[in-house]
Amino acid sequence: MEFKACQIAALIGGTVDGDPEATVSNFAKIEDARPGDITFLANPKYTHHIYSTKASIVLVRNDFEATETVNATLLRVADPYAVLSVLLEHASQALNPLPTGVEQPSFVADGVTVPEDAYVGAFAYVAQGVRMGRGVKIYPQAYVGANVEIGEGTIVYPGAKIYHGCKIGARCIIHAGAVVGADGFGFAPLPDGSYHKIPQIGIVTIGDNVEIGANTTIDRATMGTTTIGAGTKLDNLIQAAHNSSIGSNTVIAAQTGIAGSTKIGDNCMIGGQVGFAGHITVGNRVEIGAQSGIPNNVADGSRLMGYPAVGAGDFARQAVHLKRLGDLFARVAKLEKRSL
Amino acid sequence: MEFKACQIAALIGGTVDGDPEATVSNFAKIEDARPGDITFLANPKYTHHIYSTKASIVLVRNDFEATETVNATLLRVADPYAVLSVLLEHASQALNPLPTGVEQPSFVADGVTVPEDAYVGAFAYVAQGVRMGRGVKIYPQAYVGANVEIGEGTIVYPGAKIYHGCKIGARCIIHAGAVVGADGFGFAPLPDGSYHKIPQIGIVTIGDNVEIGANTTIDRATMGTTTIGAGTKLDNLIQAAHNSSIGSNTVIAAQTGIAGSTKIGDNCMIGGQVGFAGHITVGNRVEIGAQSGIPNNVADGSRLMGYPAVGAGDFARQAVHLKRLGDLFARVAKLEKRSL
Amino acid sequence: MEFKACQIAALIGGTVDGDPEATVSNFAKIEDARPGDITFLANPKYTHHIYSTKASIVLVRNDFEATETVNATLLRVADPYAVLSVLLEHASQALNPLPTGVEQPSFVADGVTVPEDAYVGAFAYVAQGVRMGRGVKIYPQAYVGANVEIGEGTIVYPGAKIYHGCKIGARCIIHAGAVVGADGFGFAPLPDGSYHKIPQIGIVTIGDNVEIGANTTIDRATMGTTTIGAGTKLDNLIQAAHNSSIGSNTVIAAQTGIAGSTKIGDNCMIGGQVGFAGHITVGNRVEIGAQSGIPNNVADGSRLMGYPAVGAGDFARQAVHLKRLGDLFARVAKLEKRSL
């Protein structure tokens, strides 16, 4: 598919600054773009690339002022990143159209209704009592256990597994290999040193507009529910243990682990490989740096970093002090010598 | 299902303190419970909740003495948590009954016998030479490679993968997405900087009563076997590398990694996101805090924490000292000034 | 299969020092070996085992000189580990022969050609437009999305998932549960605190001779491609985020995470559980210790360790200083007292 600058401007409502006939067929980052690509400039840090980019069209803010010659045709819009996102969505749907219908062989238990605009891929398993909303897409080799509920428009990608009884909201995306509702890790120690499994009879409840990354695992509750709030986005390979709870519109990067019964608030931003201890409460609007270890409760609006975590500023100072620690030992030794 | 306090007491042998007709149909944690729920009090930290809980029935120790008014009916037993566990087991089997039979389409190689009370779900693959004990449950989309042995009563949940030749004990639970027996990470460097793959011809041997969490990976040995001892419980997203060995009745929390040839003893408790270096030996009854890094051998009964790990007490002191480190720099600077 | 020392020597060109009729049927590590096993001695650290090993045959360097009695038959070769590797390869192919043909039921979209010597296992899904080279092996329950290209001789193990449009080189191995090409973690914040998904329309490009471990996840690019260079080996449970790039012949141990747009060079050796921040560049021939956190660019040939990472030597010194930190506080307090 090829588009001209003037066509895109008509579609999205921007103004062309350059050749209205400039033609593009692909997207690229500003530093990688080649002729025929469209790109965007949103972060001022990347402004210098606009003078060397080979892109044919660059989306820029309405108030962008070039200080050198720009070869690309500019498309001036209010919010280049938002416009890019709209264009990408069109492209994405063209590249990877959502399928419809029931492929064979698949397994849909007796009594389960597949809405007309839904999809059940080959080798997908939909157990008894499953209820799925309009437009739900169950990709090949996915597993939907007994009595699971899936809200409308939710996509379950290939091989994702949802254990019995879990509730998934509308317009969610569950990526390949994610496991929702496996047993929580609960065992009672016996006098002989062995362990007795505590049955995990709770569920997992996932709100609307949640994205769950590839191979992420969210365990079912012992009793009650493990909860992921609406609008929350989980990256790949994350662990959310039984009875943990994550609020709304919180984003968590890959490989982070949340131990049992821990509650994380709304609108938090959590880095990758962070570990949360069990039975703690993390407030709203909390930001936590990558690889941090969080042993205790965290107040609303905190910014933490480190293992064990401290304030982000303190972490930076600690790192500096650690580098000078050898020097400090030498200084103290010198003082000791002098004071003899 | 509804049960009365007197019925439960008859079933489990406790004594009712309150209304014998109190009726429950669900389980809940003491702080979350609503009317119609049964809950329990085992940890003294939670005692204050018993005066405000909305639960209809609370399991308590025989010697529990209320210091305020309790609205719930109490069921006095020797060990509330153990009794709860028995009740949960009944509920769990009712909510998620174990299936039986061979669903179609599934793949069972010629010559493989599926015992009468076993289950092979749709889209499961059971390769040639597989031997499975009575009551083995192979859920949909699970893969059991050639010549694998699975002991009686073991459950292989949806999409778990067991490579050829591995041996799984009796009454194990292998959760969705777990991978047992993928190749160990072994490569020989060549003079040109590239790597030659060392074939991994060993197996994985898993003892009886082992639980393997969702998306956990246990690599096959280069030669010989990677071993998980009887009664050991592994949480989700754990990595056990080739020729590693974990003893009996050891519990390991999520996202911990064990490098090649490392041996961990019996009755250990390992936190989440811990890393073990390769070729080390960790003794019995060792406790290791979350996110620790273990570079060297660990003696029996050690309690470690940190990166690199030190004694748990030393770790706490280090954390305090680190917080005061800026202060120490200032104190030394002051001394230096004074000593001029 | 049984082999005599003289037969193996004829096969691989070594010289027998001992009984040419010594017979072996299995491989083992030198410390674990039993009669009937062949083993090897490459690492001098293990030399003492040769005097007690129960192995029937030991591969040793041509210049090995025994200082005590050796019971095993020695097979002298230039490079014992390389020879072992050749023997293991023979054994591996006998134990786990590569399958051929199309098993039923499987899903191969109309118009896709399965080369004669390729394999598509039962319940595998091969979508429209897929192109696969000679000898490609798609194991059961694997998913190959629309328009994916797979080079000749590549093995896709059970349950691995490759999303649409990705390009996989020749002679790669993708282990069970690995996910290639799931959406990158890209969201634009909206004024109300919610997030808008940025469509991820790029792909993943994997070079020749790459190995991808079990349950490792490699996200597709937002635009352009996420890249894994030729000869690179990734262990299990690794996360490579969108638009990240790893060079050639780099080895990365399990559970390491690489954030978005980060570039790692050629011939690097990265330990397990390492975290790389986003948008950084790591040079060639870099070595990074396990569990390190890499916040910034790294120069060619660096050796780093720690969180945040410092030079490997500095890390060791820091650890020593940390252990003596309590002592330092005491020394400073003493000086302060004295200086009053």
Q: Does B183 touch chain C (CB under 8 A)?
A: yes
Nearest to A132 by CA among C11, A140, A145: A145
Q: Which residue of A has its CA nearest to C306?
A: A319
Q: What is the mean pLDDT of chain A?
A: 95
Share of chain B above pLDDT 70, in %: 99
A177: nearest CB among C145, C215, C308: C215
Q: What is the pLDDT of residues C142-158, one digit of tens each?
A: 999 999 999 999 999 99
ipTM for the predicted complex: 0.93
Out of B29, B249, B291, the one facing A224 most closely (by C-beta) is B29
How many contacts (CB atoms, under 8 Å) link A and C? 174
C149 C-beta neighbours (distance < 10 Å), count: 18
Mutate to test the interface with B, among C86, C179, C236, C285 (most CBs of B within 10 A): C236
Question: Which residues in chain A have Cβ-Cβ distances shorter than 8 Å to B98?
Answer: none
Test B175 with A182 for CB contact under 8 angstroms.
yes
- On chain B, the residues whose CB falls within 8 A of the CB of C27 are 201, 223
Taking the CA of residue A152 and the nearest CA in chain B, the distance in Å comes to: 24
pLDDT at A89: 87
A165: closest CA of chain C, how far (Å):
24
pLDDT beneath 50, residues of chain B: none
Name the residue facing B123 among A125, A193, A222 (closest C-beta).
Answer: A125
Mutation for C interface: A155, A273, A318, A340, most C CBs within 10 A: A273
How far apart CA C105 and CA A104 sit, in angstroms, is 10
Please state, in angstroms and rounded to a whole number, the distance separating the CA atoms of residues A18 and A288: 44
pTM of the model: 0.94
Task: Assess whether pLDDT exceeds 80 at residue A16.
Answer: yes
Task: Determine whether the interchain pair A121/C125 forms a contact, defined as Cβ–Cβ distance below 8 Å.
Answer: yes
Q: Is C236 on the interface with B (CB under 8 A)?
A: yes
CB contact under 8 A, C336 and B339: no
A146 touches chain B (CB under 8 A): yes
CA–CA separation, B287 and B269 (whole Å): 5
Residue of B nearest to A184 (CA): B235
Residue A1 pLDDT exceeds 70: no
User: Any CB–CB contact under 8 A between C205 and chain A?
Assistant: no
**pLDDT tens-digit profile of C191-204?**
999 999 999 999 99
Tell me which DSSP letter residue B161 carries: E
Please give the Cα distance from A177 to C178 (Å, whole number).
Answer: 8
B318 touches chain C (CB under 8 A): yes
Contacts of B319 in chain A (CB under 8 A): 308
What is the DSSP secondary structure assignment for residue B298, as one 8-state letter?
Answer: B
B85 at A interface, C-beta within 8 A? yes
Residue B83, C-beta contacts closer than 8 angstroms, at least 6 positions apart: B12, B14, B40, B59, B75, B77
Please determine, for residue A109, whether its predicted confidence score (pLDDT) is greater than 90. Answer: yes
Pairing of the two strands A15-17 and A73-77: antiparallel
Measured distance CA(B216)–CA(C169) in Å, rounded: 27
pLDDT at position B231, please? 98
pLDDT above 70 covers a percentage of chain C that reads 99
Percent of chain A with pLDDT over 70: 99
The distance of A190 to chain C (nearest Cα, Å) reads 32
Q: How far apart are CA B104 and CA C105, in angstroms?
A: 11
pLDDT of C91 reads 87
Alpha helices, DSSP H only, in chain B?
5-12, 80-95, 312-323, 325-338
Compare all CA atoms of chain A with the CA of C328 and give the residue at the minimum distance. Answer: A329
Determine the distance in angstroms separating the CA of A192 from the nearest CA of chain C, rounded to an integer: 30
| pLDDT value, residue A139 | 98
Best residue of B103, B139, B174, B194 to probe chain C, by most C CBs closer than 10 Å: B194
A27 and C223 in contact by Cβ < 8 A? Answer: yes
Q: What is the pLDDT of residue B42?
A: 87
The pLDDT assigned to B131 comes to: 98
Query: Which tokens belong to A259?
Result: 């131990």
B28 has a chain A CB within 8 A of its CB = yes
User: Which chain B residues are Cβ-neighbours of A322 within 8 angstroms?
Assistant: 325
Which subunits sit against C, judged by 3+ Cβ pairs under 8 A?
A, B
Tell me the nearest-neighbour CA distance from C159 into chain A, angstroms. Answer: 7
Q: What is the mean pLDDT of chain C?
A: 95
The pLDDT of residue B339 is 81
Contact (Cβ atoms closer than 8 angstroms) between residue A304 and residue A312? yes
Whole-angstrom CA distances from A317 to A9, B308, B325, B327 are 49, 20, 9, 11
Share of chain C above pLDDT 90, in %: 87
Q: Which of C164, C175, C242, C279 is catalytic?
A: C242
User: Contacts of residue A336 in chain C, CB cutoff 8 Å?
Assistant: 331, 335
Confidence of residue A210 (pLDDT cuts 50, 70, 90): very high
Contacts of C196 in chain A (CB under 8 A): 82, 85
Q: Which of B141, B222, B223, B318 to mutate to test the interface with C (most CBs of C within 10 A)?
A: B223
What distance in Å separates residue A235's CA from the closest CA in chain C?
6
Does residue B168 sit in helix, strand or coil? strand
Cβ–Cβ below 8 Å for B325 and A339:
no
- What's the token pair of residue C134? 């000679």
Q: Which of B49, B164, B175, B242 is catalytic?
A: B242
Angle value at C-alpha C171, between C170 and C172, nearest 5 degrees = 95
B39 touches chain C (CB under 8 A): no
Q: How much is the pLDDT for C1?
A: 67
Residue with structure tokens 């909740």? Answer: B49
**For residues A279 and B264, what is the distance between their CA atoms, to the nearest angstrom?**
27
pLDDT band at C2 (very low <50, low <70, confident <90, very high): confident
C122 and B143 in contact by Cβ < 8 A? no
Interface of C with B in 49-78 (CB under 8 A): none
Select the residue from C104, C106, C112, C143 to test the A interface by mutation, using most A Cβ atoms within 10 A: C143
Compute how many other C-beta atoms are within 10 angstroms of the C-beta atom of residue A24.
24
The predicted-structure confidence for C230-254, as pLDDT tens digits, reads as follows: 999 999 999 999 999 999 999 999 9
Sign of the torsion formed by the C-alpha atoms of C284, C289, C290 and C296: negative
**Smallest Cβ distance to B273: which of A201, A257, A328?**
A257
pLDDT digits (tens, 9 = 90+) for A287-310: 999 999 999 999 999 999 999 999
Can you read off the two tokens belonging to residue C319? Answer: 């650890």
Predicted pLDDT of residue B1: 67
Min distance A117 CA to chain C CA atoms (Å): 20
Size of interface B-C (CB pairs under 8 A): 177
Task: Determine the Cα–Cα distance for residues C246 and C257; give it in Å rounded to an integer.
Answer: 12
Cross-chain Cβ contact B176/A193 below 8 Å = no
Per-residue pLDDT of A41-98, as tens digits, reads: 988 899 999 999 999 999 999 999 999 999 999 999 999 988 888 888 888 888 889 9
Q: What is the reported pLDDT for C11?
A: 86
Cross-chain residue pair A91–C293, CB shorter than 8 Å: no
C27 Cβ under 8 Å from any chain B Cβ: yes
Q: Is A337 exposed, middle or buried (0-12, 13-18, 19+ CB in 10 A)?
A: exposed
Chain B positions touching A332 (Cβ under 8 A) are 332
C194 touches chain A (CB under 8 A): yes
Residue of C nearest to B306 (CA): C319
CA atoms within 13 A on the CB side of C43: 6
**Mean pLDDT on C77-94:** 88
Q: Taking CB atoms and an 8 Å limit, are A254 and C239 in contact across chains?
A: yes
